[in-house]
Amino acid sequence: LAKTTQPISMDSYEGQEVNITCSHNNIATNDYITWYQQFPSQGPRFIIQGYKTKVTNEVASLFIPADRKSSTLSLPRVSLSDTAVYYCLVGVYNQGGKLIFGQGTELSVKP
Amino acid sequence: DAGVIQSPRHEVTEMGQEVTLRCKLISGHNSLFWYRQTMMRGLELLIYFNNNVPIDDSGMPEDRFSAKMPNASFSTLKIQPSEPRDSAVYFCASSLDRVSGNTIYFGEGSWLTVV
């Protein structure tokens, strides 16, 4: 199982771009990288997923270098409502792996 | 689609009582996960099923915990007897098993308090 390492917490201000980096040095060839967001009192919510290079959707961008040993979630122009815990996951559960959540990064956006 | 539906949303029970948590998968999904979340241990994977078959239950804490999928769209997680240390939020999640990556969708959770 590819273990992930993320910063425990980050602070930002409204309107700023936030980049959260996740390290996964022993990522396997078949592993995908997935990010989830969790608000208090809610279940985690899928944000974005990628395998290599760059992926962008209406919520965020995901940057993955060629060696895939890390990934960076980029949130453009955050608002107060982006205050949440962000989890980086690596794995492919349907090939015998498991989706294991680490401790996540607690992002606090201030006015 | 209504998403993953869990019940009850909140339950307070006395130590020693049986607790049954329920989950309805998103229509068409064939994988089911049970997670437990506490402040101390974060999100822990308890068990997951694929096509109604338990694939990995190594995260189940002990024999007091059991999970079933009586059909393709429904699952239960049972704790018998319950203990105060079982107090946590229990999340159910479902996914469509496919080769090219996967996304799991979580329910809103069942908040369990054992006193």
B97: which chain A residues are within 8 Å (Cβ-Cβ)?
94
- B103 interfaces chain A, CB cutoff of 8 Å: yes
Q: What is the mean pLDDT of chain B?
A: 91
Residue-averaged pLDDT of chain A: 90
Q: What is the dihedral of CA B13, B75, B23, B16, to 10 degrees?
A: 0
Take residue B88 and report the two structure tokens written for it.
């946590």
Q: In 3-state terms, what secondary structure has residue A42?
A: coil
* Higher-confidence position of B62 and B112: B112
Question: The tokens 């944000």 sit on which residue?
Answer: A47
Instruction: List, in order, residues 6 or more apart from B88 with CB less than 8 Å away.
Output: B36, B37, B38, B112
Interchain pair A43, B104: CB under 8 A: no
> Please, what's the largest Cα pairwise distance for chain B?
45
CA distance A21 to A27: 15
* Mean pLDDT confidence for B17-40: 94
Contacts of B52 (CB under 8 A, 6+ apart): B69, B71, B72
Residue A49 has pLDDT above 80, yes or no: yes
Say what the pLDDT of residue A41 is. Answer: 86
Q: Which residue of A has its CA nearest to B106?
A: A43
CA dist A64 and A4 (Å) reads 14
Please tell me the distance from the alpha carbon of residue A90 to that of residue A95, in angstroms, as a whole number. Answer: 13
Looking at residue A78, what is its pLDDT?
96
Distances (CA, A) of A33 to A71, B24, B106: 8, 26, 18
CA distance A15 to chain B (A): 29
Residue B95: the pLDDT is: 87
* Residue B98 pLDDT: 57
- List all residues 6 or more positions away from B12 whose beta carbon is below 8 Å from its beta carbon: B113, B114, B115
At B50, the pLDDT band (50, 70, 90 cuts) reads confident
Return left, alpha or beta for A68; rule: phi > 0 is left, psi -120 to 50 is alpha, else beta: left
Residue A94 has a pLDDT of 52
Residue B18 to residue B80: CA distance in whole angstroms: 5
Reported as a single tens digit per residue, the pLDDT across A72-98 is: 999 999 999 999 999 998 876 555 456
